[in-house]
Copies of this chain bind each other. A is one copy, B any other.
Amino acid sequence: VVFGLSKISIFIERGATMSDLSSLFKAKSLAIVGASTKPKKLGHIVLRNILESGYEGNIYPINPKADEICGLKCYPSLLEAPSDFELVIIIIPAQFVAGIIDEAGKMGAKSVIVISGGFREAGKKELEQEIKRVAEVYGIRLLGPNCQGLNYTPNKICATWPLIKKKGNIAIISQSGSVGAEMGILAEREGIGVSSIVSLGNKADITEIDLLKYFALDDNTKVIAMYIEAFTCGQAFLDVVSKVSKQKPVVILKPGKTKEGRKAAETHTNSLTGNREVFEAVCNQYGLVFVDSIDELYDCSKALSMIKMKGGKRVQIITSTGGGGVLASDSMIENGLQFASISITLKEQLKRELPSHFTISNPLDLTGDATAKLYEDIIQRLSNEKDIDIFLPIIGDPIPEVSKVFTNLKDRIKQDIIVCFFGGGKVQEEETLTMHESGLPVFPSPERAVKAIAKILKTQKW
């Protein structure tokens, strides 16, 4: 239980007849209105993705002109389909959507996802009011309209595009379908996966606040990543997120740093975006991780999905690449991190024991002679030092077995380990996947590793 409130009370404000969001995320069966036989149509792509993601409930494609789509029996209307569906996905022209929601209500559905556009964003406010009104009549929860759907890997339902199957613990809430999709693609490519991707669309009913509350209680979610251009209600968001972020890290990308960016956002979402600078300061105070680009949103979410940084900013670099050490050093200072220092006693010991061309300092440079074993020995030795909070091993060569070594180390030492690996080709790709499986975050450049650490440590939560 989050906020010291029960699960019920969180939703009671919406009226007792409103169902919670489990019918959306955990729908046992579903119907898809506008399912298409044509492979390039969204009505086909979404259906195929639901099938290919391994959805285990019944699926009822609705299309009066087809008997079968993707091997599934097709029904001419919702009213003629079996009635066990909880969720209806709608991909038909805007003017017909209200009618379909009415049918969905009559059949006992509890949630709808309206992917179709042509509502408020197209100047058709009354159409949006209408679908909202019909949904409310039946107590149906509505995602969208004008959205890119939803993916929830624990329920094997990818009702969006592209197909992302890899399970992970990052939930993505995005006011841009493309940004949400990209986050999922990056997470799958790196073997990290997602718990969920939700595209908000016009937010006629379900807002970022509903989703924050849902993911706060969702055991499959460890980190919440958000891309938000305009809040439905800024103050309510801060109230909720300040509580959620005490339980789970929340990372947010909120564009609109510039007048031009705000103008573009207001055109895109047709709503006011607010003052971003004030908002950034408040967010940091409230424990949110505030980021500036898609890469940073991904990098910070990745790190937090694996480790819980304890707050100390003193980083010890151990590198096989002099250049990597130099680039990391510049970035550390620019991003407000501190250089850890090794006690004189240990420094002298290491200097005696290790080859003379190694640099025993910070960066600690093992040169091209670095092996996985050497990294292990050094980090093990340094782990008892009191002035080190984080180890940043930088690997600049195709060194095998580093994943094994760092995985062993991470449970033995008190410091966090954040790995940077570049210049390693195929070995790097394989080792990175293995480290991600073992809960060690790996970054492809010194600059990105350092920036992720710094952004996370910037919030006043720590």
- A177→B445 contact, CB < 8 A: no
- B425→A339 contact, CB < 8 A: no
Question: For chain A residues 362-400, which have a beta carbon within 8 Å of chain B?
Answer: 363, 365, 367-369, 396-398, 400
- A293→B255 contact, CB < 8 A: no
Task: List, in ascending order, chain B residues with CB within 8 A of A185's CB.
Answer: 423, 425
- A327→B255 contact, CB < 8 A: yes
- A176→B323 contact, CB < 8 A: yes
- A329→B396 contact, CB < 8 A: no
- Assuming the A-B contacts A268-B322, A357-B117, A398-B162, are A260 and B424 also in contact, with contact meaning beta carbons closer than 8 angstroms in the complex? no
Shortest Cβ distance from residue A244 to the other chain B in the assembled complex, whole angstroms? 23
- Assuming the A-B contacts A260-B333, A267-B365, A356-B122, are A163 and B425 also in contact, with contact meaning beta carbons closer than 8 angstroms in the complex? yes
Task: List, in ascending order, chain B residues with CB within 8 A of A187's CB.
Answer: none
Shortest Cβ distance from residue A292 to the other chain B in the assembled complex, whole angstroms? 8
Shortest Cβ distance from residue A315 to the other chain B in the assembled complex, whole angstroms? 11
| Complex: A326 Cα to B179 Cα, angstroms | 11
- B268→A365 contact, CB < 8 A: yes
Shortest Cβ distance from residue A132 to the other chain B in the assembled complex, whole angstroms? 19
- Assuming the A-B contacts A162-B425, A422-B178, are A261 and B323 also in contact, with contact meaning beta carbons closer than 8 angstroms in the complex? no
How many of chain A's residues have a CB under 8 angstroms from any CB in B?
77
| A56: interface (CB < 8 Å) | no
22 contacts between A and B (CB under 8 A): A122-B355, A123-B356, A148-B368, A161-B425, A162-B398, A162-B423, A162-B426, A162-B427, A176-B324, A179-B323, A179-B422, A179-B423, A180-B423, A185-B423, A185-B425, A229-B326, A260-B329, A260-B339, A268-B322, A269-B322, A292-B447, A293-B327
| Complex: A359 Cα to B180 Cα, angstroms | 22
| A321: interface (CB < 8 Å) | yes
Contacts A176-B324, A177-B323 given; 8 further ones with Cβ under 8 A? A117-B357, A161-B398, A162-B423, A179-B327, A181-B424, A182-B423, A257-B330, A259-B333
Mark A164-183 against chain B: 1 for CB-CB distance below 8 A, else 0.
00000000001111111110
Task: List, in ascending order, chain B residues with CB within 8 A of A339's CB.
Answer: 260
Report the nearest B residue to A425, measured CB to CB.
B162
Residue from B121, B256, B330 in contact with A255 in the complex, judged by beta carbons closer than 8 Å: B330
Mark A45-56 against chain B: 1 for CB-CB distance below 8 A, else 0.
000000000000
Mark A309-341 against chain B: 1 for CB-CB distance below 8 A, else 0.
000000000001111111101101110000100
- Assuming the A-B contacts A178-B396, A321-B176, are A122 and B357 also in contact, with contact meaning beta carbons closer than 8 angstroms in the complex? yes
- A333→B261 contact, CB < 8 A: yes
- A445→B294 contact, CB < 8 A: yes
- B426→A326 contact, CB < 8 A: no
Question: For chain A residues 265-301, which have a beta carbon within 8 Å of chain B?
Answer: 265, 267-269, 292-295
Report the nearest B residue to A263, measured CB to CB.
B329
- B422→A325 contact, CB < 8 A: no
- A256→B330 contact, CB < 8 A: yes
Report the nearest B residue to A298, measured CB to CB.
B445
Closest 8 CB pairs of A and B: A176-B323, A178-B396, A268-B322, A162-B425, A122-B357, A261-B330, A178-B423, A178-B321
| A264: interface (CB < 8 Å) | yes
- A264→B363 contact, CB < 8 A: yes
| Complex: A236 Cα to B400 Cα, angstroms | 41
- B264→A325 contact, CB < 8 A: yes
Report the nearest B residue to A163, measured CB to CB.
B425
| A215: interface (CB < 8 Å) | no
| Complex: A180 Cα to B324 Cα, angstroms | 11
- B447→A293 contact, CB < 8 A: yes
- A178→B365 contact, CB < 8 A: no
Task: List, in ascending order, chain B residues with CB within 8 A of A369's CB.
Answer: 117
Task: List, in ascending order, chain B residues with CB within 8 A of A400's CB.
Answer: 40
| Complex: A255 Cα to B363 Cα, angstroms | 14
Report the nearest B residue to A355, measured CB to CB.
B122
Report the nearest B residue to A266, measured CB to CB.
B326
| A77: interface (CB < 8 Å) | no
| A118: interface (CB < 8 Å) | yes
- Assuming the A-B contacts A178-B321, A422-B182, A423-B179, are A255 and B326 also in contact, with contact meaning beta carbons closer than 8 angstroms in the complex? yes
| A75: interface (CB < 8 Å) | no
Task: List, in ascending order, chain B residues with CB within 8 A of A259's CB.
Answer: 333
| A138: interface (CB < 8 Å) | no
